[in-house]
Chains A and B, each alone.
Chain A
Amino acid sequence: GEDVEQSLFLSVREGDSSVINCTYTDSSSTYLYWYKQEPGAGLQLLTYIFSNMDMKQDQRLTVLLNKKDKHLSLRIADTQTGDSAIYFCAEPTYNQGGKLIFGQGTELSVKP
């Protein structure tokens, strides 16, 4: 079955770059997602990447996709204390309208 794996914790200093990694198993996914959960809030879609892309950049966020290794990463440049949150990668089980398979979430702690 589908499986998504992430490391659980990451601690960085303000201003540094953060890299959150994820591995997945279902190579048929059309999209791969990154969700962010701030304390006390719901899940917010942060960014996504089409499976036919290798990289997507959106301001301070860079998503890298290595389809061969089924590896996805999220890089946050110039990390701020407001970036402290739990980050989940997720893949849909089919193209549209399908359930999401999530990783365990990576808790990012940004120290001033």
Chain B
Amino acid sequence: EAGVTQFPSHSVIEKGQTVTLRCDPISGHDNLYWYRRVMGKEIKFLLHFVKESKQDESGMPNNRFLAERTGGTYSTLKVQPAELEDSGVYFCASSQTGGNEQFFGPGTRLTVL
């Protein structure tokens, strides 16, 4: 069974540009989470989808971040326009309904110059 996949693995963009990150959860997992780790700090929750609905988006930093999960399968996280402080590793995780374990993808390392 394939695990959680994320694309791209690395992205280097300039301040002001737009970047879209993609996450493909494990098939059949209704819960999808986005997290972010800024260099050397804790991994912080961004938001949680249940199928295509946003269950909790309390961690989204500001309105430059837009997450979607159309059709309840893969999800995208768009940053527009990107700022220097958006640099970090963005992790996606998925879990089954009622499941305790979240399965994480390898992350996307975003560098904003």
- Shortest Cβ distance from B48 into A: residue: A99
Check if B42 sits within 8 Å of A97, measured CB to CB: no
Known: A41-B106, A96-B99, A97-B97. A88 touches B43 (CB 8 A): yes
Bound-state CA distance A46–B29 (Å) is: 20
Q: Which residues of A sit under 8 angstroms from B45, Cβ to Cβ?
A: 99-101
Check if A102 sits within 8 Å of B97, measured CB to CB: no
The answer to whether the Cβ of B98 comes within 8 Å of any Cβ in the partner chain is: yes
The answer to whether the Cβ of B74 comes within 8 Å of any Cβ in the partner chain is: no
Bound-state CA distance A100–B97 (Å) is: 15
Check if B100 sits within 8 Å of A31, measured CB to CB: yes
Check if B56 sits within 8 Å of A99, measured CB to CB: yes
Bound-state CA distance A90–B99 (Å) is: 16
Size of the B side of the interface (Cβ < 8 Å), in residues, is 30
Band of interface residues on A:
20 to 34
Bound-state CA distance A103–B37 (Å) is: 11
Q: Which residues of A sit under 8 angstroms from B1, Cβ to Cβ?
A: none
Number of A-B contacts (CB under 8 A): 56
The answer to whether the Cβ of A42 comes within 8 Å of any Cβ in the partner chain is: yes
Bound-state CA distance A31–B97 (Å) is: 17
Q: Pick from B91, B93, B95, B100 the residue with the most CB of A within 10 Å.
A: B100
Bound-state CA distance A90–B31 (Å) is: 18
- Shortest Cβ distance from A93 into B: residue: B45
Known: A96-B98, A96-B99. A8 touches B42 (CB 8 A): no
The answer to whether the Cβ of A20 comes within 8 Å of any Cβ in the partner chain is: no
* A30: min CB distance to chain B, Å: 8
Listed by A's residue number, 20 A-B pairs whose Cβ atoms lie within 8 Å are A42-B3, A42-B4, A42-B91, A42-B105, A43-B91, A43-B93, A45-B101, A45-B103, A88-B43, A92-B100, A97-B95, A97-B97, A97-B98, A99-B45, A100-B43, A100-B45, A102-B35, A102-B43, A104-B42, A105-B43
Partner-B contacts on A (CB < 8 A) = 4, 8, 31, 35, 40-45, 48, 88, 90, 92, 96-97, 99-105
Partner-A contacts on B (CB < 8 A) = 3-4, 31, 33, 35, 37, 40-45, 48, 50, 56, 59, 91, 93, 95, 97-107
